[in-house]
Structure 1
Amino acid sequence: MSIRRRLMTRFIGMLAGAVLLIVVLGSAATYWVVQKVNEVNLVDDFATTGLDQLIDTAKISSDGTVHYAPDLLKQVEQNQGWLQMLDDKGKVIDAFHTPSDIPTHYAPGELISYWQGTKPFPYQIVMIIRERNGIVFTLLYGERSVAKPLLNQVHQTSTFTNGKLVVAPEQQASIREAKAYLQLLDSSGKELDSYNKPTMGVPTDYNIQDLVLRARYPSRYGAFTSTMYDEQTETTWMISVPSGLSAAEDERDPYAFIWEPALLVLVLSVIMLLILLALWYANRFGSPMLHMLQWLQRLEKGHYEEPTGLNGIPRSQRRNGKWKRKYRVYAEVLLSMQMLSSTLKQDEELRKQTESLREEWIAGITHDLKTPLSSIQGYAHMLEADKYSWSQEEVREFAAIMLDKSMYMDRLVNDLAMTYRLRSGGYQPDVERTDVNTLLHDLVLRAERNPAYGQGRIQFQPAPTPVYGQVHIPSFERIVDNLTANALLHNPTDTKLIVSVHAGQRDGDFSIQFVDNGRGMDAKTVWRLFERYYRGTDTGTPDVGSGLGMAVTKGLIEAMKGRIEVHSAPGQGTQIRLIWDGISHDAQNKIT
């Protein structure tokens, strides 16, 4: 998977995770709100909400006993209510918190009269009938009506005359004992008069909604309220008896204490979630970027190692060398940076080696130019001096030495120029189809006649079949001369050299081997064999050459689209192969 797809996958996953967490938080907040609203409803209107929950949570044991949720029964007790379960005959089969003045058996018409209010009953009752798991639940729930009986008594004995409310003395005592207060309202809901009303906190003007809510939800207002409408006077009698519960601060929104904290917690949770996601994002994606930036800064300063942690291990890797999880998404970038660091480090080492070789090369070439030049200058001064009278033979000898030194300098300069031309690609010889067996045989015979090599040290082995190749004959001659001289002049005098030709698989493909049994070379010498002027020559032994022969040889072979391989080891001789097989020489140069 590419880095682009991995980043997209990670970002999409992060977004999906954030959305999922927000949904979970929202669901948790919604669940909490529903629970709190249910608790409020249980207090405000247990008859509507609680009875259904009682049936939903009821558990029936093996002996037929019904067990209700303890928290719901506790709410019945707090509401000063009672609970009965009836069978189909109206008999009470289970009860909770039932006063002594409540019947234990109801006739069908009697229960309906109590329920509809056509027959006096000291409690406000609610009945619910539901079937669950094959069992029919008939629950009767009742709450004592404190305000209604008191209002009935007051209304029967009190009058409103000349704009003044007159309450009988015995009813005044009952109102004060119950800490209640009486209000008389006109047809629009405005207060006409009152008795025992508190000086503060009680409205003097009511609308229909106010009256209904006060009578329906006494816990919200901290008082039981009962009303009675007088058709003759078109007035409303209202009495309020404190319930002992504190009134809600916001009478218009009894759920404000639920919405506000729920919304606050949800907002804070989302903010904290976003902060945590930002920190996670910074650690997950920003930390590797900072690591790579620090790595680049180190590369800029010439430090090519990856930044490490306290344990000395690169920060992007584990002890086993594998990528850490947060760095895997940038695997391609890190691999590229590792390769870049390795390349820069190798280039730096190569630069140092090149500088060292250049200094050695300059020192060697300076020495080899200065030495013959000193000889030429010395003999020139000798010939110029008036105090000497040289014979004709001595002058010729001096001239021969000076000519030899100048020719050596000329070869050195020409070889140096040739190496630069070959390296820059400026030398492109014109090749022609040539019989390699014949050409190489002629060159070997010419080398055998060189007195510097000695007699019988070169053996030629032609290919059994004719071999033709595209070569530049002058360059080919120089290659053979350089390799022959290198094998015979830098080894003991008893060293033998075998030159052989081998045909390739295709027409025009061939190889030539130069194998000697000399002292051989170590790996370092083989590696540096083709460097320009790796070996400084001594002008005292001019036959050694300019020191650029192997560099020129390699360049000439590559210019003719061939390649060279060298195999050697100390004490085991040297094998050099010249190969023309149609493979690009730029990619196939090999030294082992």
Structure 2
Amino acid sequence: MNWRLTGRYMVSVIIVTIITVFINLFGFMIWLVLQASSQHSEENTPETFTRSFEQYITFSDQGITVKKEGQQALKQQNAWVQILDENGQDVYHIRAPKGLKDKYTPLEIVNLHKYKDKQLLSTIYAGGKKVKGKEYSYFIGFKNPSLGKYLFSFDTKDLVTRFNIGTIILLSIDAIIALIIGYLFSRQLTKPLGRVIHGIQRLANGDYTTNLPTKGMYKDVFYNVNHLSEQLASSKKEKDKLEQMREEWISHISHDIKTPLASIQGYAEIIKDPNYPLSGHEIRHYARIIENKSLYIKDVMEDLNLTSRLKNNDVMLNKELVNIVSLLRETLIDILNDSRYADQLIELQTNVEKLMLNLDAILIRRAVTNLILNALVHNDHDVQIVVQIEQKEQTHVTIKDNGKGIEEEELEKVFDRYYRGTNTGVTHAGSGLGMAIAKDIIQKHGGDITISSTLGKGTTIDIQLPS
């Protein structure tokens, strides 16, 4: 995988490099052509000046002269001029340096045109003018020491051959350089990606200890991989914790169900056995025990079914306008009518007698019952419970007790499925799903539920229902 990525990056870099080289060569050639064109188009170059100087040369019966404009131009160019006839004889000169000859042979004329004259300290250019059928030539010498002129000859075929060889060598060198740079660049790009791929593979294999250095051009990618690793590690920890709680819950619930089943089985066998002559009072007593144990198992099964349906969003609310005050009063009466809680102190406080809400009465009753029973079984027998109703932006139902309170580390778990508080009495048995079911019911109605507690002072549960 790493070599595949490296190869792709190398190919892209090489292509970019080659295209860049050709663009540079093409641009350089265009620049040379433009430079040459611009030089030829400039009027102040020595060649142009020499070719155009003939306009200043005049011929008359009195002889050959140079106009004042031409003399001024020579002065500005720091140059001199010498005019020769067809035989190479000097017929006119102005601003001529020392050592200037009066007559030149054809070879001398050619040499003066080709090379810089060291004796005259001038770079010489030649021009010509035809007057009345006679050819006159002239030299213009520039006394500029920085000005040079060199002529060279070449074989076109040899030049083309050398150019092709040079081009091949140049392209070969460029290709080698491109390979080296491309490889180094690709390694810099793909090495971090290799670390990312390795880290993701570790995450896929369940290793959530990945910690990549968050630096370089891929630092955002590294940060997100690290964040994903932390999230997965946290989720795994929570999952393991929930799984442990679930296993403990299964163990407890199995024990809680076995105990009433054993009672049911035992009393049923006694009633069935003819060797045990039972009175009608004893039979009714044993039947009542069997009924209570059966109802307990039924409640546990209903909790299991309801929490599963709430978790899977499989519960349809049968909403209707209900007087929440009457509903809560009836709920408290039902709890106090239970012989187990008949002498408990449970009070309803409200400043209104009618508060209509659109809700599922059966489920809200179930939620409130679970919360109150939870307060009863997790506290001492003399605990006092107050249920308050208050109308604000939302309807608040508050359940307060003055019991033992809940430790802070347990406070976050009370609404978790399968969690049983440490204050649960040893004689208490139940599904351990009551608080989770209550929260799911409230949230199903679009409300919310919060809990606060202080050790030794009690616990407050606040239910917010939409008005």
CA separation of 1:272 and 1:570: change in aligned 2, threshold 3 A: farther
Q: C-alpha distance in 1, partners of 2:351/2:292?
A: 39
Residue deviations 1:448-478, cap 9 Å, x none?
5656446573333325695321122222222
1:401: Cα distance to partner?
2.0
Match among 333, 355, 362 for residue 250 of structure 2? 362
TM-score by length of 1: 0.53
Judge conservation of contact 1:504–1:511 (CA < 8 Å) in 2: yes
Which residues in structure 2 correspond to 1:424-463 (within 5 Å)? 424-447=312-335, 452-453=340-341, 457-463=345-351
- How far apart in 1 are the matches of 2:177 and 2:299? 81
CA distance in 2, matches of 1:466, 1:388: 57
Residue in structure 2 matching 1:403, options 291, 302, 311: 291
Within 5 Å, give how 1:167-186 maps onto structure 2: none
Q: Within 5 A, what are the aligned runs for 1:281-360?
A: 281-306=185-210, 314-315=212-213, 317=214, 323-325=215-217, 327-328=218-219, 331=220, 334=222, 337-360=225-248
Provide, for residues 8-46 of structure 1, a one-character-per-residue CA deviation record: whole Å limited to 9, x for no partner: xxx999987775566668999999xxxxxxxxxxxxxxx
Partner of 1:490: 378
Among candidates 529, 549, 554, match of residue 439 of structure 2: 554
Q: For residues 465 and 366 of structure 1, do their structure 2 counterparts lie closer, same or farther at Cα, with a shift above 3 Å needed?
A: closer
Task: Report what 2:281 is aligned to.
Answer: 393
Matches of 1:429 and 1:516, distance apart in 2: 30
Q: Secondary structure at the match of 2:455?
A: coil
Alignment of 1:373-392 (within 5 A): 373-392=261-280
- Residue 260 of structure 2 aligns with an amino acid whose one-letter code is P
TM-score (norm. length: structure 2): 0.65
Within 2, Cα distance between the matches of 1:526 and 1:422? 22
Q: Is the 8 A contact 2:439 2:448 kept in 1?
A: yes
Contact 2:18 2:175 in 1 (8 A): no
Cα distance between partner residues in 2 of 1:495 and 1:271 = 88
Q: Distance in 2 between matches of 1:479 and 1:126?
A: 113
Q: Provide the C-alpha distance between the structure 2 equivalents of 1:533 and 1:435, rounded to a whole number of angstroms.
A: 33
* SS of corresponding position for 1:519: coil
8 Å Cα contact 1:514-1:577 kept in structure 2: yes
Residue 385 of structure 1, CA deviation: 4.0
Worse-matched range after superposition: 477-486 or 263-272: 263-272
The equivalent of 1:473 in structure 2 is 361
Helix, strand or coil at the partner of 1:492:
coil
> Which deviates more from structure 2 when the two are superposed, residues 569-578 or residues 340-349?
340-349
1:29-178 residue pairs with structure 2 within 5 A?
A: 88-91=95-98, 105-106=99-100, 108-110=101-103, 115-116=108-109, 127=117, 128-129=123-124, 136=143
Per-residue CA deviations over 1:532-590 (Å, capped at 9, x if unaligned) read 44339999846x544332232223223333222222343342221211238xxxxxxxx
For residues 358 and 335 of structure 1, the distance between their equivalents in structure 2, rounded to whole angstroms, comes to: 34
- Count of residues in Structure 1 that have an aligned counterpart in Structure 2: 371
Contact preservation (8 Å) 2:253, 2:430:
no
User: Which one has the bigger helix percentage?
Assistant: 2
Q: Distance in 2 between matches of 1:374 and 1:465?
A: 47
Is the CA contact (8 Å cut-off) linking 1:29 and 1:266 kept in structure 2? Answer: no
Percent identity, please.
25
Match of 1:420 in 2: 308
- Over the aligned positions, Cα root-mean-square deviation in angstroms equals 4.4
One-letter identity of the residue aligned with 1:129:
I
Give the secondary structure class of the aligned counterpart of 1:434: strand
**Cα pair 2:17 2:178 within 8 Å, conserved:** no
CA distance in 2, matches of 1:381, 1:410: 21
Cα deviations across residues 292-314 of structure 1 (Å, max 9, x unaligned)?
322222122111233x5xxxxx1
* 2:397 is the counterpart of 1:512: yes
- 1:109 alignment partner, SS class: coil
- Listed one character per residue, the Cα deviations across residues 143-163 of structure 1 (whole Å, up to 9, x for unaligned) are xxxxxxxxxxxxxxxxxxxxx
Q: Distance in 2 between matches of 1:136 and 1:283?
A: 60
Partner amino acid, structure 2, of 1:553: A
Letter in 1 for 2:451: V
Equivalent-residue separation in structure 2 for 1:429 and 1:137 (angstroms): 105
Structure 1 residue 111: Cα displacement: 5.1
Aligned to 1:570: 455
Q: Please say if residues 562 and 580 of structure 1, whose CA atoms lie closer than 8 Å, have aligned partners that are also in contact.
A: yes
Alignment-mate amino acid for residue 324 of structure 1: G
In the superposition, relative to structure 1, how do residues 138 and 573 fare at CA in structure 2: closer, same or farther (>3 Å)?
closer
Higher relative contact order (CA 8 A, sep 6+): 2
- Find the structure with the greater CA-based Rg: 1
Distance 1:396 1:277 in 2: 96
Q: 1:343 deviation in Å?
A: 4.1
Q: 1:468 to 1:504 in 2, by over 3 A?
A: farther
Contact 1:368–1:539 under 8 Å retained in 2: no
Instruction: Report the Cα distance in structure 1 between the residues aligned to 2:353 and 2:264, rounded to whole angstroms.
Output: 52
Equivalent-residue separation in structure 1 for 2:176 and 2:29 (angstroms): 15
**Cα contact 1:564–1:579 (8 A) shared by 2:** yes
How far apart are the structure 1 equivalents of 2:276 and 2:343? 43
Letter of the 1:516 partner, please give it. Answer: D
**Aligned-partner Cα distance in 2 for 1:456–1:430:** 32
Match of 1:268 among 161, 166, 172: 172
| Deviation for aligned residue 1:363 | 0.9
Q: CA 1:571 to 1:23, structure 2 compared with 1: closer, same or farther past 3 Å?
A: farther
1:367 deviates by 0.6
Alpha carbons of structure 1 residues 265 and 414: separation in structure 2 relative to 1, 3 Å: same
Aligned to 2:391: 503
Deviations 1:484-505 (A, max 9, x none): 2211231123432221122232
Distance in 2 (CA, whole Å) between partners of 1:561 and 1:138 is: 97
Equivalent-residue separation in structure 2 for 1:113 and 1:255 (angstroms): 31
Structure 2, unpaired ranges of 5+:
1-10, 32-46, 48-93, 118-122, 126-140
- Alignment partner, residue 68 of structure 2: none
